[in-house]
Structure 1
Amino acid sequence: MDPIAKELTVGGAGDERQIAALVRGATNPRDVLPGFVWLGGYRSDMTGSKAEALCRHAGEQGRASLRFDYSGHGASGGDFRDGTISRWLEESLAVFTQLSSGPQILVGSSMGAWIALRLVQELRKTGDGGRVAGLVLIAPAPDFTHELMEPELTEAQRQALARDGFYEEPTPYGPDPNVFTRALFEDGRKNRVLDGLIETGAPVHIIQGMADPDVPWQHALKLIEHLPSDNVTLTLIRDGDHRLSRDEDISRILAAVDSIPPSA
């Protein structure tokens, strides 16, 4: 079964945005295996190699799979510069609740791991936390604005944030510069997860490259300190970069999702 393209309107009057998603239903007749929900990184879209591999893997096993683009990303509407963690979390919550059913494994990459952790927190508030069968977090960057970026801001960048509300910097991941807004930083503080215990109620598998130039591997260790569950696995890849998109990296990701049992 090929994925089906769907669109979802998220947001209230004057703030609606069209969120594009690709949905594949489960074909396993017993429907016992949890599906996969992909949560991408900052400026990534749902057609990346890891998302594609996860969708194919789901199809081979008869699992459901769901991937989508945040507003301002890929095929979704909205202006990227309007994006904040709260905004993208709102979209993730809407997509999860309206386009998936039953148990799901959240697979979050970089910023998507932060959103996955916040998504679990919000689902647990509404009594739907039990639908999260597990989390696979790839190069997780929770609280990256506060923990990783703010301490490294140059004086010129601080001035640009105060004066213009944003600053730009080149990125090795594409031709266009990254844009970071004052709203992203301010909203990031409101969504911090590394300021207390993170109750997931599900197994967590973290995969982190030790040669990651964007998220140091020590950040993954810090995240583990905030996960009270004993069911947390950390895989460190000595020569792994931030993308973790090599064939051997993707194999580790697929093995991680397969390690989460249906009864979790």
Structure 2
Amino acid sequence: MTTTNGKDAAVEFLTVGEGADARGIAMLLEPPAAGNALAHLVWLGGYRSDMTGTKAVELAALAARLGTACVRLDYSGHGASGGAFVDGTISRWLEEALAVIKHAAGTLGTRRVVLVGSSMGGWIALRAVAELARRKDVEVAGLVLIAPAPDFTSELIEPNLTAAERTALAERGQFEEPTPYGPDPNIYTLKLIEDGRANRVLTGVIETDCPVHILQGMADPDVPYAHAVRLMEHLSGDDVVLTMIRDGDHRLSRPQDIAKILEAAEALARGN
């Protein structure tokens, strides 16, 4: 099934899951130019973001300039995808990302990818590396992690829960928190938090077997820059770059921020 996203790009839907758990995952798959051998770019968005955000669109434009493919998706409960947001977990959204990458392998010929993960998408990218290495059908040529938030449920949310929030989790299975990024509050579920514990990556050495470039704002109110430093300490490879942006916020969506992100993505796509 296809539709349009209002920007002349075809939105396709991939069914992930079976029976009552089936949900339609919205994708934007932009093919490579004929004969182009660069790694394909895969966008993994953050919590409550979608594939039509500024950084995602700019990444797609970069892929078009380079002549390579770009793969974007909305997790279930996000953007144009089906499924309820409150059913979302890291495991569930990882499953969807891997399903879309597998689909891209069949339709776009995707064999090598650069995973570009923003915030929670950085966590999903780190989990996807391990799963793709195990499956051995798509090679990860590099990671670009933008204000990455691995283990954010156990490291950034759980330690800071108020008594009222703990009560809400116990009694209602979720709590709400105001956000400056929109009128609706963020919703954090007990299901998300419990599943997050099973998907932790900051528990030992993280083996990516590929170059990693982390970009982190030092004025980020949501993910402290110390979190990026800690992540870097867990990465085993020598080819890990951490770029600190002194006045950068969590979104890193200013033109100067995006320029740094695209520079990193292009270098990894080219194998530089």
TM-score, normalised with respect to structure 2: 0.94
| CA–CA distance in structure 2, aligned partners of residues 261 and 142 of structure 1 | 23
Are the aligned partners of 2:123 and 2:149 in contact in 1 as well (CA < 8 Å)? yes
Q: For residues 210 and 168 of structure 2, what CA distance do their matches in structure 1 show? A: 41
After TM superposition, the structure 1 stretch with the greater mean CA deviation from structure 2, 254-263 or 6-15, is: 254-263
Counting only pairs closer than 5 Å after superposition, residues 74-153 of structure 1 correspond to structure 2 as 74-100=79-105, 101-128=110-137, 131-153=139-161
Give the superposition deviation at 1:115.
0.2
Quote the residue 2:227 is aligned against: 219
Counting only pairs closer than 5 Å after superposition, residues 180-195 of structure 1 correspond to structure 2 as 180-195=188-203
In 1, the alpha carbon distance for the partners of 2:53 and 2:133 equals 29
1:4 lines up with 2:10 in the alignment? yes
Shift, 1:114, TM fit: 0.1
Matches within 5 A, 1:196-235: 196-235=204-243
| SS of the residue 1:125 aligns to | helix
Counting aligned pairs with the same residue, the percent is 61
Q: What amino acid is aligned across from residue 54 of structure 1 in structure 2?
A: L
The 1:256/1:172 distance shift into structure 2, 3 A limit, reads same
Counterparts in 2 of 1:172 and 1:102: CA distance versus 1, 3 Å: same
Q: Unaligned stretches of 5+ in structure 1?
A: none
> Is residue 2:258 matched to residue 1:250?
yes
Moved over 4 A (4+): none
The number of residues matched between the two structures is 261
Counterparts of 1:197 and 1:30 in 2: how far apart (Å)? 37
CA distance in structure 1 between the partners assigned to 2:158 and 2:271 by the alignment: 40
Deviations 1:63-107 (A, max 9, x none): 100101000000000000000000000001100111241211000
The 3-state SS of whatever aligns with 2:72 is strand
- The offset of 1:261, in angstroms, is 5.3
Quote how far apart the aligned CAs of 1:262 are: 3.6
Runs of 5+ consecutive residues of structure 2 not aligned to the other structure: 1-7
Q: CA shift at 1:263, angstroms?
A: 4.5
Does residue 59 (structure 1) correspond to residue 67 (structure 2)? The answer is no
2:78 to 53, 73, 79: 73
**Per-residue CA shift, 1:191-250, capped at 9, x if unaligned?**
000001111111000000000000000000100111000000000000000000000000
> Does the CA-based 8 Å contact 2:111-2:137 persist in structure 1?
no
